[in-house]
Structure 1
């Protein structure tokens, strides 16, 4: 079980790096779109950077966390605890 948790943690960190890259690319795309529409002001750029980056990071990060929970065995521990038995230690 320890190797599953370690492997899942490594995979989660790798996914977070890809998610951060995707968020940066989305911000670049949003700024390019704003530039094409002649809507670039300082406030628009700041709001777009913060909004797009953190929205992508939050949405994808929560999905990645759900996958991490399943792969690391945390979901099994909760399921076993709900049945009244002790958690499994594989």
Structure 2
């Protein structure tokens, strides 16, 4: 029998997704700060050889890397915090070869 996920409940899911959006907004600010710091460090370290192409590549690379990490970790937190992880069916529950720490 498949257990219902807590995310199937509209109230639980709206709270979980609101928390995820709040996390992503905060991480967008952190990402912007990381981009500014990376660009400042580059400007300081290389001086006059600072081109627009380097600015675009650095901003995209640093900003998108931070946001991708935040998005994936946010989904892990959403899944775990909402109880969705406990609602799965474990296909190896009765397998004697699997080490279950329960």
Q: Which has the higher helix share?
A: 1
CA positional deviation for 1:73: 2.2
CA positional deviation for 1:83: 5.4
Structure with bigger gyration radius: 2
1:28-83 deviations in Å (ceiling 9; x for gaps): 111111111214112211110100001000112211110001112221122xx225
Kindly tell me the number of residue pairs found equivalent between the two proteins.
82
Alpha-carbon separation, structure 2, partners of 1:56 and 1:70: 21
Matched, 1:5 2:29: no
Runs of 4+ in 1 over 3 A off after TM superposition: none
Alpha-carbon separation, structure 2, partners of 1:83 and 1:69: 19
**CA-based RMSD:** 1.7
Matched, 1:72 2:85: no
Report the TM-score when normalising by structure 1.
0.80
Gaps of 5+ in 2: 1-5, 93-102
Report the TM-score when normalising by structure 2.
0.71
Gaps of 5+ in 1: 85-90
